[in-house]
Amino acid sequence: MPGRLYSCVMEFNRGDWIWELMLTRRPSDTHFSKSSTPGGESPLARDDDNTLVTHAVLFDGTKTVLAIAGTCFALGVVVAPHVKSGLISLKSKLRRRAEEPTDAETPVPLTVVAEAEPEQTDPPRLRAA
């Protein structure tokens, strides 16, 4: 850690091991060797026939992580107001749509096709005055 102030962020001791975030570079037509540690890979670069091609080159990953974090923060600051206004606009549209009557709620005008005289079952009765 001497001479590298930023490395304390991405390097830490755990038991007898030092863990450090690294960025690797290897030829595109290669893959890493499997490590004897479960989930780990070795920095040996091998081809599809599992023949050793070269060693991967390791770089300090701290600068990369800081650059990615800074970019994400900057994008969040720039994009957040646009996302917020878009959500407000969507909410307003949905509210207006909910207030509009649907086809089921719209009254259908009734048209009288023919008028019929009511049937009289009993003849009118006369009363004495």
Q: In terms of pLDDT, which residue wins out, 19 or 127?
A: 19
Cα→Cα distances 91→78, 80, 85, 94, 95, Å: 21, 16, 10, 5, 6
Model's pTM, two decimal places? 0.42
Q: Is the pLDDT of residue 101 over 90?
A: no
Whole-number pLDDT of residue 47:
94
HSE-CB of 7 using CA atoms within 13 angstroms: 12
Whole-number pLDDT of residue 2:
43
Q: In terms of pLDDT, which residue wins out, 118 or 75?
A: 75
* Amino acid at site 107: P
Q: Is the pLDDT of residue 112 over 50?
A: yes
Q: Is the pLDDT of residue 27 over 90?
A: yes
Whole-number pLDDT of residue 123:
65
Whole-number pLDDT of residue 53:
95
The answer to whether the CB of 65 falls within 8 A of the CB of 21 is yes
Whole-number pLDDT of residue 7:
38
